[in-house]
Chains A and B, each alone.
Chain A
Amino acid sequence: MKTREEIAQVLANSGYIADGELATAISLMQLLRRPLLLEGEAGVGKTEVAKALASAHATELIRLQCYEGLDQSAALYEWNYQRQLLSIQAHHGADAETIEERIFSEKYLLERPLLAAIRRAKPPVLLIDEIDRADDEFEAFLLELLSDFQVSIPELGTISAITIPHVVLTSNGTRELSDALRRRCLYHYVDYPDVDREARIIMARIDGSTASLSLQIARMVEGIRKEELRKVPGVAETLDWAAALVGIGVHDLLDAPEVVHETLMCLLKTHEDKSRMTREVTERLLGKVA
Chain B
Amino acid sequence: MSAGNVKYKRVNGDAVEYEVFARKTRLEALRLVGSVVAPDDDLAAAYARATYDEERWIEMAIVRKDHVIELWEPGEP
Q: Are A and B genuine complex partners? A: no
B binding-site residues for A, Cβ under 8 Å: none
A binding-site residues for B, Cβ under 8 Å: none
